[in-house]
Amino acid sequence: MSSSDQSMVYVISDSVGETAELVVKAALSQFSQGKAAITRIPYVEDTSTVDDVITQAIENNGVIAFTVVVPEVKNYLLQQAASHNVPIYDILTPMITLMENRLNTSPKNKSGLIHTLDEDYFRKVEAIEFAVKYDDGRDPRGVLRADVVLIGVSRTSKTPLSQYLAHKRLKVANVPLVPEVEPPEELFDVPSEKIIGLTISPKKLNTIRTERLKALGLKEEANYAALERIEEELLYSARIMNKIGCRIIDVSTKAVEETANLIYQLVHHHSS
C-alpha cells in the first residue's frame, strides 16, 4: 500500500501528546493495519504551528485529534479546522466537561499537568527506594545524599519513620547508635540541621524490646531488653547527639505518624 492510500492522523497537543496518540492508536486497532499513519505534533503553543498542521491535513486528506487545553490555541485550532473542512476530534473536552459538572468546579486549563503528577510519583518511588537502600546504616554514603538522617538506638522507629517520610518525597537515611560500634565518619560531615536524633524513655524501650523478643521466640531475659543495657545505650546515643548538635525528638509517647509529621515540619521549616 502506498503512502497516498493511507489516511493521515495528526495528533496535536500542548504537552507531550502521549494521551492523544494512545487514544488514536486504540481506535485504529479496531481497523485493518496500514490504513492510517500517525504524526504527533507536541508542545503546540502558537497559532502558526496550528496553521502548518491545517495545511498538511488539507494536502494529505488528513484528520486531527487533539488534547490542547489552552483556550486561545484550542479555539483557533477549532476555527481553522472548521473553515477548511478538516475533520477534527477533541479528546479531552468531553471528559473535562463531565468532571466540571460533577465536581462543580472549573478546570485549570493548563497543559502538562499529568506529567507533573508523574514526576511527583517518580520522586516518591525514588525516595522509597532510597530509604530501603540506606536503612539501618547499611551504606554510610547515603547520609551525605539524604534530605534527613535519623539516628537513635534500636527500636526507636527509625525504619518506619524513614518509609513514612519517603511517601512525603523525602530521602531519608537512618543510622543505629550502638555503644560497641563507632558511628560512620560521614555522619559528622552532614549539617546538624539535617540530622534528627530519636530518643525514648528506658521503661518504654524495655517494653518494646521485650515484646520484640517474644515475637521472635527468644528469652525475655536477653541483654537486648535489660534495663541496664538500655540505659547504657541511651546514654551513649545522647552523647553522640550532643556532639553532633542535632535536634532531638522523644518518641516515648508519639505515634509514628505524629513523629514523622514533626520531622517533616522541621525539615521544611529549615529549608524554607
The DSSP output letter for 33 is T
Q: Is 154 annotated as a binding residue?
A: yes
Q: Cβ distance 153 to 233 under 8 Å?
A: yes
Q: Is 153 annotated as a binding residue?
A: yes
What does the block give as the cell for 79? 476555527
Q: Is 124 annotated as a binding residue?
A: no
Q: Is 155 annotated as a binding residue?
A: yes
Q: Is 19 annotated as a binding residue?
A: no
Task: Spell out the residues 6+ positions from residue 86 whose beta carbon is closer than 8 angstroms to its own.
Answer: 54, 57, 58, 62, 63, 64, 80
What does the block give as the cell for 128? 522509597
Q: Cβ distance 151 to 175 under 8 Å?
A: yes
Q: Is 159 annotated as a binding residue?
A: yes
Q: Cβ distance 201 to 227 under 8 Å?
A: no
- Name residue 38's beta-bridge partners: 9
State how far the Cα of 235 lies from the Cα of 233, in Å rounded to an integer: 5
Q: What is the largest CA-CA distance in the chain?
A: 87
Q: Is 17 annotated as a binding residue?
A: no
Binding site listing: 152-159
Binding site listing for ADP: 152-159
